[in-house]
Each structure stands twice: as C-alpha cells, then as structure tokens.
C-alpha cells in the first residue's frame, strides 16, 4: 500500500480471532477455591515448549507441549490434536514440586509467605530444564530432569536349579561348590577356612551375572542452589540475562546481580534508598534484562517512570542512561493520580527495541530510542475511572496487573477485572482490540491435573484482607465489573499467537 508521499506503508495485520484451547484445574460450580491454590506466576520458556506456573502455596507446576513429536509427546497425545482447525500449541501436565515453604523471621518477627512471586526459565542443558523461582525473600534454582529407573532383570542364579531351605540336599551343585559359594573358599571337616579361591574345573554352571535394564523413566526435581539473605525488602521481580550466567533480583529499593553458580554472594548494582527514609518518594516495582544486550537492563518505579541503565558505566548504577516518563497534563492531578501511575510490570519486546509497561489504567509502548513519551497508549479499563474511590476502599487499586507482547511484536495483552483479558494491535494504523473473558468458554475441553497434597490447617485458613466498598455491578455504559475476580497473570507464547492466563486457581489457554 502506498502513502500520499509515495513511500510504501505496510498494511496493518488483520485482527486475530481468539479461541479457547485448554483449561487446567478449573473448579466446578460452587466449589470454593483455597487461597494456597491461586496462581501467582506464569511463564513460557524461550522455546514455548514448556510452561511453568507458581501459586500462593509455594508450588511450581510444569506443563509440556504435546503436539510436536520432537517434544516427547506420546502417540496418543498427538492423535488428540484436531488438525482441521488452525494449528495451536497443546499442553499437558508434566510435574510439580514444592518450591518454597512458609518461614518465620525471628529477628524481625515477620512471617515470610511461601507464595511464588516470579518464575524465570534458564537455559536448558543435556535435556534438563532449569528455572528460578522466588518468594518474598529467597530465590531458588531448580533442575528438572528425566532419569532412567534401574531394574535388575536377572539374578545370579539359575531359576531351574534354585533350592529352598529344606531341600539343600537336592542341589545339583556339589557340597564343596556350595560351601565355596557361601564362604568364598573351601571348608575342611574341622571347619577351618582354607584360602583357596580357585573355581572348580569347568566353572560353576549355575552362576549368572546380574543384568540391569532401563525400561522406565521418572522426573527428578532437585534444588541446585538457594540464593538467600540478600534483600531487606520483598523481592518483586527476577530476570535472567542473555549471557546465560547471571540474573538480577529486585526489591523496593535495591537491585542485586547474581551469578547462577554462586549463591553466597551478590553485587548491589542499583540502590535508591535515601539517607533518610522520610525523603523516600518512589520505589522500584519491576526490573528486566534486555533480551540480547547482556549489559543493559530496565527498571520501573512507583512514579510511572522507566530507567534504562548500562552495567558497563559503573559498578553502582546510580545514574541512568535513559529515562522514560509521561508527564501529566496540567490541572489533571487528583488524589489517585500517583497511585494509578505506578508501573506494575514491564516487558522488553523480543528484539529489544520496545518496552511495554502496565500501570493501573493503561498499557504503554515505549521506543528505547525515543524518551519523549510512549509511542502508543492503550486504555485497559477506562470505564472504571469513576469507580476509583470504590477501588481504593477495597484495596483493588493496588492490584498489580502483568503485561506481555507477542513474539512478532505486533500485539500486546494484559488482564482486567471480571476475569477479562485484552489484546491490542500496536502496529501504526491498527485499531485491533479484543476483550475476552477467560472463564466463559462454551466449547471447552477440561484437562484434569493430578490431585494435590492436603494443606495444613494454618495455611488453609489464611485470608486476603479486603476492606469495604462495592465489589460488583455495572457502570453507566452497561459495562460489568467484578473486583473480586481478576486476571493478573498472563504470558504470550514466544513464537505463536497463544496466550496462557491465570484466573484464580485455573490456567486457561487461548489461541488465534
């Protein structure tokens, strides 16, 4: 298509038709969800062949793709795929393990929850999967690998010549040979051991060497390293580096750089803690490494700003190389302005050119070469603006929604209330916008996950604190809202148009 100046302008891609694919762990009507089962983190690996979720009970659940032969899917799983429709990823439950347990900090009289805050995949090696998981204080490095089970196929005796305790005299082996096998030598009549270890002439025909076979495999999960005692405040994000050797962890005031092989030492690379805490005006909310430049990372703040820093500039990156912030229009400030401006999540595009950020009301797409303002802004739930007072009363205004980009960088997605998620086209000239309710799927095919172990009474009785305020209803335009159901966590498949999103304890898969 040609523009008015004669230059070629690429046409915006056609809007995608999103369809339901799978659901894991969906509750039946009227079933009450325990808080420990609510999903709190979700992440595709770089290949898109594995998916990991973490929950508030400290568990990590892994899923594997089954519609590709090279990924180990069985023939039965491959036959389930309906090739008459557009091809899409199909997953099955792989394994789960307990990553974190509740702890108590006796020095600070503080209970440390087992809730998984973030999961990040690391590079695979020798067929093993590696990932990082973290709660508020401790990061763990996990290895998941298939191991062959050893079984002894045949023992060192001939079954046809085996004898019982009461039939020793029927043995075809001579008494001298039996005595030799029992004691490693011959015994004379006076029971004195003679050190003669020579086999009788012709050998022992009933001796069989054990044979070990590997007919079955099992998944073995091992915690390789524990990275602890490095954060005074709650860890809000971790991010792996493209060098495959290092990662960062961020809390409210500091970002630490770790080497995967060293668990007892980290380097503080960002410290925004003021000398006097009364002078504190903003905190770190999220940090991410650049996908290809191992020395570049970005972190967001509660004031809605994003800072790009270069680790090559100095050991302590107090100064940023670029600052991305959108200034408020004069006269538009209100009591809620600073609260809703806080950035809850940032993600780099696959090529590292763009950064997607999510604040309470909007998605913003930033070009790292242009710090004057976002290149695109997407309104997620603008119809809730008149309800900000109610949202503040019931603490919903502090909910932290995540965001994600498609692998080709043409679309972005994020969640909202009433278990809705929204997909926007971000190419110039695109007006694509789709809103879907994750839990409303008439053509669903439920996939059961294995039953989980029972929880202790203390963990089951924990409840989320909620204040007063209206939680459900409709606005003036007829848009429904339900603040008690929210879709906070979602992840886009790295190479296909497929989204995994979490609503309470259920994992929903959509494709287009």
Question: 264: domain CATH number?
Answer: 2.130.10.10
Residue range(s) defining the domain that contains residue 360: 20-150+215-511
In this predicted structure, the answer to whether residue 342 has a pLDDT above a threshold of 90 is yes
- The answer to whether position 10 is within a domain reads no
pLDDT per residue over 224-256, tens digit each?
999 999 999 999 999 999 999 999 999 999 999
pTM of the model as a whole: 0.78
- The answer to whether position 156 is within a domain reads no
- The answer to whether position 81 is within a domain reads yes
Of residues 188 and 352, more confidence is placed in 352
- The answer to whether position 162 is within a domain reads no
- Binned at pLDDT 50, 70 and 90, residue 471 comes out as low
- The answer to whether position 209 is within a domain reads no
Residue 24 half-sphere exposure toward CB, CA atoms < 13 A = 24
Q: From CA 188, how far away is CA 195, in angstroms rounded?
A: 11
- The answer to whether position 38 is within a domain reads yes
Model pLDDT, residue 26 = 82
The CB density around residue 458, as the number of other CB atoms within 10 Å, is 8
Angle, vertex CA 84, rays to CA 79 and CA 89, nearest 5: 60
In this predicted structure, the answer to whether residue 317 has a pLDDT above a threshold of 90 is no
In this predicted structure, the answer to whether residue 427 has a pLDDT above a threshold of 80 is yes
Give the three-state DSSP class for 410.
coil
Nearest CA-CA partner of 127 in 156, 101, 148? 148
In this predicted structure, the answer to whether residue 29 has a pLDDT above a threshold of 80 is no
- The answer to whether position 328 is within a domain reads yes
- The answer to whether position 3 is within a domain reads no
Number of domains within the chain? 1
* Average pLDDT over the chain, rounded to an integer: 81
């Amino acid at each position: 298509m040609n523009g008015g100046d004669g230059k070629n302008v690429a046409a915006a891609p056609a809007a995608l038709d999103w369809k339901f694919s799978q659901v894991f762990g969906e509750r039946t009507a009227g079933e009450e969800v325990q808080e420990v089962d609510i999903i709190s983190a979700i992440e595709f690996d770089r290949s898109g062949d594995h998916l990991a979720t973490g929950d508030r009970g400290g568990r990590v659940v892994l899923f594997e793709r089954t519609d590709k032969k090279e990924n180990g899917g069985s023939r039965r799983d491959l036959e389930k795929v309906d090739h008459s429709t557009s091809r899409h990823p199909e997953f099955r439950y792989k394994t789960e393990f307990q990553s974190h347990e509740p702890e108590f900090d006796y020095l600070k009289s503080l209970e440390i929850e087992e809730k998984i805050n973030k999961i990040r995949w690391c590079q695979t090696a020798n067929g093993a999967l590696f990932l990082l998981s973290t709660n508020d204080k401790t990061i763990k490095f996990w290895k998941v690998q298939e191991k062959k089970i050893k079984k002894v196929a045949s023992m060192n005796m001939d079954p046809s010549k085996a004898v019982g305790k009461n039939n020793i005299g029927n043995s075809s082996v001579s008494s001298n040979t039996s005595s030799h096998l029992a004691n490693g030598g011959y015994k004379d009549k006076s029971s004195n051991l003679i050190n003669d270890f020579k086999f009788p002439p012709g050998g022992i025909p009933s001796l069989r060497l054990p044979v070990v076979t590997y007919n079955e495999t099992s998944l073995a999960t091992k915690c390789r390293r524990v990275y602890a005692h490095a954060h005074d405040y709650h860890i809000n994000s971790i991010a792996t580096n493209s060098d495959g050797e290092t990662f960062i962890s961020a809390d409210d005031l500091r970002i630490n750089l770790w080497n995967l092989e060293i668990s007892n030492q980290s380097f503080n690379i960002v410290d925004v803690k003021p000398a006097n805490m009364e002078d504190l005006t903003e905190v770190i909310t999220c940090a991410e490494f650049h996908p290809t430049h191992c020395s570049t990372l970005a972190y967001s703040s509660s004031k809605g700003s994003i800072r790009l820093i270069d680790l090559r500039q100095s050991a302590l990156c107090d100064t940023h190389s670029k600052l991305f912030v959108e200034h408020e229009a004069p006269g538009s400030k209100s009591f809620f302005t600073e609260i809703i401006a806080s950035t809850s999540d940032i993600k780099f595009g696959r090529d590292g050119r763009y950064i997607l950020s999510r604040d309470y009301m909007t998605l913003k797409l930033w070009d790292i070469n242009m710090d004057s303002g976002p290149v695109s802004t997407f309104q997620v739930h603008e119809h809730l603006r008149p309800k900000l007072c109610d949202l503040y009363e019931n603490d919903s205004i502090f909910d932290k929604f995540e965001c994600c980009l498609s692998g080709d960088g043409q679309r972005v997605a994020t969640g909202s209330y009433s278990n809705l998620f929204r997909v926007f086209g971000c190419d110039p000239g695109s007006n694509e916008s789709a809103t879907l309710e994750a839990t409303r799927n008439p053509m669903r095919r439920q996939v059961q996950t294995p039953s989980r172990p029972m929880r202790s009474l203390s963990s089951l009785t924990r409840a989320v604190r909620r204040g007063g305020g209206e939680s459900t209803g409709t606005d003036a335009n007829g848009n429904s809202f339900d603040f008690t159901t929210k879709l906070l966590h979602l992840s886009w498949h790295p190479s296909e148009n497929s989204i995994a999103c979490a609503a309470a304890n259920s994992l929903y898969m959509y494709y287009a």
